[in-house]
Structures are given as C-alpha cells and as structure tokens.
Structure 1
Amino acid sequence: MNETRNGRDPVIRSWKNANEETLIQQSRSFSIPLLKLDDRFKVPVMVQYNLNKTIDTIEDSTVLDVGEKIDLIKVFCQHLKKDTWSPELRKRMLQVTPQDESFVFKNYEHIISLYNTLSKEEKTMSKKWTLEMAEGMCQFLKRVINTPEDLNGYCYYVAGTVGIYLTELLQLKGTNVTEGSFRKLKETAVSFGTFLQKLNIIRDFIEDNDARKRTFWPQVYFEHEQDLLKILNKMLDETFNNDLPGAIEYNTYLPPGNESFEYFIRFILASGTEYWKMLKDNKAVFSNEKVKLPRTFMTNLYSRIAALDREQFAEYCNKYYSQSH
C-alpha cells in the first residue's frame, strides 16, 4: 500500500496530483507546510483537508438554501460511509459553485480514490472526524451564533475536530508518542484547532455577512456595543486569552522525531499569531479589502520557523504572548 501511495503507480500518482492541485487552489498558504510533510503524514493530511473542504464548500455556498445544503452534506456523508463518491452531488455543486472555488468537486472522485489508498486505521480516523465535522455544520446551519459558547461549539466542530484528528494521526504514524504525551496533546488539541479558526471568523466578517448572509460573531456583543472596532478587539482578546495558551501548549507536547509534523504545527501557530497582530485595531476588516498576509511572507515564515530549534521557537511564542498581553 505504501509503495503505491508514494507514487510508483501512475494512476495513484495522478490521484495525488489532483489532490495537490485541489489543495493549492483552495489554500496556497496552508499548502506550504502540508506539502512538506513527510511520507507518514502527507497523504492522510492532504486527503483530510480536501474532504473537510468539500463539506465546507457546501456550507459556504451563496446559492443553496439551508435545507439543500444539509441534504447535500448528508449525501456526501452517506457516500463517505461507503467509501464512495456521489456523481449527483458533484454535478449539483459544479452548477452552483464559482469556478475558482470548485476544485474540490472537479476532483471529488480523485479525492475519494486517494482516500481509498489509506490504511484501514487511517480511513477509520478520517471518516470519524469528517462525519463529526459534517454533523456540527448541519446543526449550526439551523442555528444563530448568539453567545461566545455558541461560537465555541461551532469552532469545535469545524476546527477542533481537525486538531483531534491530527493528534490521533500522530499517535498512529508518529515516533516517540507515549501515553503521557498523547494525553497532553489530546487535552490541548481543540484549542490548537480553534485558535486559527476564530481568527478566520474575525477576519471574514464582511465576506460572511455580505456574500453568505451569515454572521459568526456572537450576537450578544452587538446588544450593548455599536462600535465594530471595539467588538473586533474584544473577540481578538478572548481568542488570545482562551485559545492561544492551549495552542502554544500543544506545540510544546509534540515528541521528537516528527520534525515535518512539528513544523506543520509551528506554521499554523505562527501564522495565527501574525494574523492576530494584523487584525488588532484594523478597520480594514470592515471594508471590502481582504486582510491577508502576503504570499512571500507566508513562504518565508515557514523557512523561519523551521530554522528554529525547540527552545528558540518556545521563545518566539513566549515573546509574542508577553508583548501582546
């Protein structure tokens, strides 16, 4: 299985190429650390990203109503449970999705084909957490985010599950993962996942409100405050205080011998801290101007964090935390 998955079979190589194309087109930044993962992690994590992005694309559709979104997510899940894909789902989503956002459905068959090259354990894990994410998305498509607790619940489903998946994959495929280190990683995995997700939600306020007609900012914040910048900073401070400490802890618990996985985690953590600094007091969040870190900055960021030893990266995190607190 590993020989073919590593690309010696031309058919499987074509599936990998299609998955890599999908990943790069959907997230050029996230593809930087993911494609540098070693052979133990690269294909499982790439497949998981593309599976998650498939249901995320349905959730984010600006054409479908809530009922049809839920129906289509359920169709996706029913087929995933059988390790298959749905031509009908692919056809419908290609009809309603802008071309530059439709790569997961153009390559939907290839995503499932590559998923089916995973080991039994990898598939079980992938399926479990993708279905958990999908269930939560369906719940929150019918709900309003009224309170910070609602936001925490939503972020658990769409990002905390990713943190847990990565942790279980590390236990399965990684080196030097003891029961103690796995327990500590599992305790902080949700915070690691939700930290960046909440920053994305803060950043995408206008896009979510205008294009998707949804808001993920808790409605309770608007009841006693009209100044959007103050609400923005309040959300950033809450993410800083409630999610960042666990995310930093998660990184410290990673066992040695898994360098490419560790750099992947570092990149996500470091890009989150850079976004936090960029978003603070930033009125551009409320304009049509997309607040983004430049591509060259993101590429250089990976090189910078990969060049640091563990003690130096811990200093990087602690310096940011103490300066921003």
Structure 2
Amino acid sequence: MGLLGVMVAHPEEVYPLVKLKLAMDRVRRQIPPEPHWAFSYSMLQKVSRSFALVIQQLRPELRNAVCVFYLVLRALDTVEDDTSIPSDIKLPILQNFYRHIYDLEWRFSCGTKDYKVLMDKFDLVSIAFLELDKSYQEAIEDITKRMGAGMTKFICKEVETTDDYDEYCHYVAGLVGLGLSKLFYASGSEKLKPDNLSNSMGLFLQKTNIIRDYLEDINEIPKSRMFWPRQIWSKYADKLEDFKYAENSTKAVQCLNDLVTNALMHAEDCLQYMSDLKDQSIFQFCAIPQVMAIGTLALCYNNVEVFRGVVKMRRGLTAKVINQTNTMADVYGAFYEFSSMLKSKIDHNDPNAKVTHQRVDAIQNVCKSSGLLNKSGFHVHESKNNCTSLLIVVLLLVAILLTFVHPKWLNF
C-alpha cells in the first residue's frame, strides 16, 4: 500500500511513516568513508533494513561492534541455510567459523544475492572485526563458536521435540541475546543480564520468525528446511507440508495457534529483561524488535494466511511501533494492546484455547502490575480528531508536491 492508500485507510500512521522514511534516508547517507566500514554498513542495510535502522539508536563504538556481530552471524547463518552445500563441506566450516573471522584471507562463496556478496567479501568484515576493542572481539568469537557448534548438531538432527525446538532456537537466536548482553556489558552501559532472560529475548524473536515463515521455508529450493517441532505438528497432520493445502486449513490453524501459544511463554522474561535496561539507546534497540514480535504473533494467530503467503505488520504500523516505543511504559502498552488483539481472536473450540488464555493473561498481568499502562504513548488504534485531520491534509499536500520532484516516492 502506497502513502496515499495509508492516508485513506490509516491516517494516523502517515506521520510515523513519513518520519520513518526520513530516518531511513539518513541511514543510507550515513555510510562511513573507510572501505571496510562502508561495506559493513551498506551490507547491513541490504541484508536487514529494519536492523540497520534500529542499530542507529546505539552509540558509535557499540554500534560498530553490534554491526560486525550481526554480519558475522549472518554469514554463519548463510552457510547453514545453503542447502546446496554438502554436509562434509558445511560441517567443518560451521565448526571453525569463529577462527575464520580473524583470517583476512578467508572467504567462502555460497548463498545468493546480497548474502553471496557478503560471503565473497567477508575479508572486509574481518578487517572491521579486528579494529574492535578486545572485549568486543572475545564476546563475538565466543558466541560464534557456540553457535557454529549448535548449528552443526542440527544439520544432522531433526527438530522432533519441543526441547529440540528450544535448543535449536537457543543456538541460532538465544545465543544472539547472550552475545548482545555481553556487548552491552563490555560497553560499560549495562550490567550483565542473566542468561535465561537474554536467551528468552532471542527465542521470542526466533520462534516468531519460524512461525511466520512456514510457506517460504516449506517451499525452499532445492529442499525445505523446517523447524516446526514434530511433537506439535504431528498432532494435526501426518506430514508438515499437508498444511499448505486448503482441505487441511482447520488443522493447520490449530497447529499454528499451538506454536504461537508456545512462543508466548517467553514474553514475561522479555519484559523483565527490558525493564532492567538503563541506557536509553540500548533500550530502544532491544525494545523495538520485541514489540514487532508480539505484534506479528497477534497477526499470525488464528490466521490461515500464514499458509498462503506472507503475514507481516504493514509498514505504517511498523512505523508507529518505531515512533512510539520510547519508554518501558510504551512497551507495556504495546504488549498489552497486541496481546488483547490476539486474545480477541481465540476460538473457544481451539484445542489450546485455555492455555493461550492463560499465557495472554499472564502477559497482561505483568503489564498492569507495572503501574505504567496509563503512561504509555503506544496505541494500535488512534482516534481521529481535528488536529489529526489537519495534519493529514498538510502531509497530503507535502506528499503531492514531493511527487513532482520524486514521482516514485509515494510507492514507499
């Protein structure tokens, strides 16, 4: 939906959308001059626009460390994800990847599109890595080593049980949470957070992605890579790919709801982790993705479209999340509103309805007991008042004027 469409359907999202567009333009212009840092930050924008935006919340030294950390793990993930690489070649690379980040001569061509460019020019990431403070290097090396070992384990192992599911998500995302906590601590800005809370921060995001990406993962060429645990999906189908077909929609949605309910168990830990952050820039860096995750789960819950295409938050709502997530009160407000949206979709005939209600109630009780809900500036739905209408008219005129200079702008 272009900007004009947003103005008509969701006028309250226009201002955040314009603000986000300007912020993204600033990010694109803020590329460091040094070749290795220019490559790192431009590559970050290509492989994750959203992460490239939220990382700008951080102070320069920590931002550089997090940028390199992300690219190193993205490169490691590219090796793991490339199903065309034979296991006898892939396994040693995963196991030794933590050593390769010190080697300016090492590179391995794999992946596609921007990910292939990242791998082909990985030496530039290594140069950036070697410029980081030793404490940052040690944290990145440790997590890369542990993640590579975990990925190796699951190359030859299916995700059978919910314990397997948690273990896999720990290796590919929970360790990211632990690593970020180490980087925050190394920067001197935060106390070192408990591992269980750091792990939950990663698991909440990873499980959301695994749930949302069913169709993309099941259709992957040359072969699918699926991480929905058999212990859950086998209750609803004989084969995981059965959920793609319309005749299995009822069971598919029940399985989906089961997995969303499973993901919700991490929300309370995430709220506790974020409530203990002291640095404002680190808080916003952590909070925005978590709010996006609870919003995505609310959209996916009881939604058969997960099996038909891509379900994600519209850009205007994403812009609102970024614009309105400024304090812990805002986070409580967002979690409360999105969990209310999810709660309204619970079908009492769903096999997991009772447990889902319990998980949502637990999240909402944490939000209410904080005493901060009335201070939240976060609202999924806005009332349309005269001031808002006037703002929309002004922005519409600005948008129309901009089309004379940049005709493609309205397609953002």
TM interval, shorter chain, is: 0.7 to 0.9
Q: Secondary structure at the match of 2:34?
A: helix
Partner of 1:137: 151
Count of residue correspondences = 298
Shift in Å at residue 12 of structure 1? Answer: 6.8
For each residue in 1:251-282, what CA deviation from the matched residue of structure 2 results, as whole angstroms up to 9, or x when unmatched?
A: 01112xx1111101111111111111111112
Please, which of 59, 75, 85 is the counterpart of residue 38 of structure 1? 59
- Is the 8 Å Cα contact of residues 76 and 85 (structure 1) preserved in structure 2? no
Question: CA 1:11/1:100 → structure 2, altered by over 3 Å: closer, same or farther?
Answer: closer
Rounded to whole Å, the distance in 1 between the matches of 2:332 and 2:236 is 37
Partner of 1:218: 229
Shift in Å at residue 168 of structure 1? Answer: 1.5
Please, which of 310, 321, 331 is the counterpart of residue 313 of structure 1? 331
Matched, 1:235 2:259: yes
Aligned AA for 2:157? R
Shift in Å at residue 245 of structure 1? Answer: 1.2
Aligned AA for 1:228? A
Aligned AA for 1:244? A
Rounded to whole Å, the distance in 2 between the matches of 1:216 and 1:139 is 14
Please, which of 53, 57, 72 is the counterpart of residue 51 of structure 1? 72
- Is the 8 Å Cα contact of residues 201 and 217 (structure 1) preserved in structure 2? yes
Q: Secondary structure at the match of 1:243?
A: helix
Rounded to whole Å, the distance in 2 between the matches of 1:86 and 1:285 is 42
Partner of 1:6: none
Rounded to whole Å, the distance in 2 between the matches of 1:229 and 1:138 is 32
Shift in Å at residue 155 of structure 1? Answer: 0.5
Shift in Å at residue 300 of structure 1? Answer: 3.7
Aligned AA for 2:303? N
Gap runs ≥5 in structure 1:
1-9
Map residues 4-19 of structure 1 onto 2, 5 A cutoff: 13-19=34-40
Partner of 1:209: 218
Aligned AA for 1:162? V
Partner of 1:158: 172
Whichever of the two has the greater Rg, that structure is 2
Partner of 1:262: 283
TM-score by length of 1: 0.85
Shift in Å at residue 21 of structure 1? Answer: 1.5
Please, which of 167, 174, 189 is the counterpart of residue 198 of structure 2? 189
- Is the 8 Å Cα contact of residues 151 and 216 (structure 1) preserved in structure 2? yes
- Is the 8 Å Cα contact of residues 96 and 145 (structure 2) preserved in structure 1? no
Matched, 1:71 2:92: yes
Question: CA 1:305/1:55 → structure 2, altered by over 3 Å: closer, same or farther?
Answer: same
Please, which of 84, 92, 100 is the counterpart of residue 103 of structure 2? 84
Partner of 2:119: 105
Q: Secondary structure at the match of 2:325?
A: helix
RMSD of aligned alpha carbons: 2.2
- Is the 8 Å Cα contact of residues 288 and 325 (structure 2) preserved in structure 1? yes
Shift in Å at residue 239 of structure 1? Answer: 0.7
Rounded to whole Å, the distance in 2 between the matches of 1:263 and 1:234 is 30
Shift in Å at residue 295 of structure 1? Answer: 4.2
Rounded to whole Å, the distance in 2 between the matches of 1:224 and 1:108 is 43
Partner of 1:248: 271
Shift in Å at residue 49 of structure 1? Answer: 0.3
- Is the 8 Å Cα contact of residues 29 and 295 (structure 1) preserved in structure 2? no
Question: CA 1:67/1:279 → structure 2, altered by over 3 Å: closer, same or farther?
Answer: farther
Shift in Å at residue 29 of structure 1? Answer: 1.6
Rounded to whole Å, the distance in 2 between the matches of 1:266 and 1:115 is 26
Shift in Å at residue 319 of structure 1? Answer: 4.3
Map residues 20-39 of structure 1 onto 2, 5 A cutoff: 20-39=41-60
Please, which of 302, 314, 322 is the counterpart of residue 322 of structure 2? 302
Rounded to whole Å, the distance in 2 between the matches of 1:228 and 1:235 is 11
Question: CA 1:86/1:33 → structure 2, altered by over 3 Å: closer, same or farther?
Answer: same
Partner of 1:4: none
Please, which of 281, 286, 293 is the counterpart of residue 313 of structure 2? 293
Gap runs ≥5 in structure 2:
1-30, 238-250, 344-359, 361-412
Aligned AA for 1:298? T
TM-score by length of 2: 0.68
Aligned AA for 2:228? W
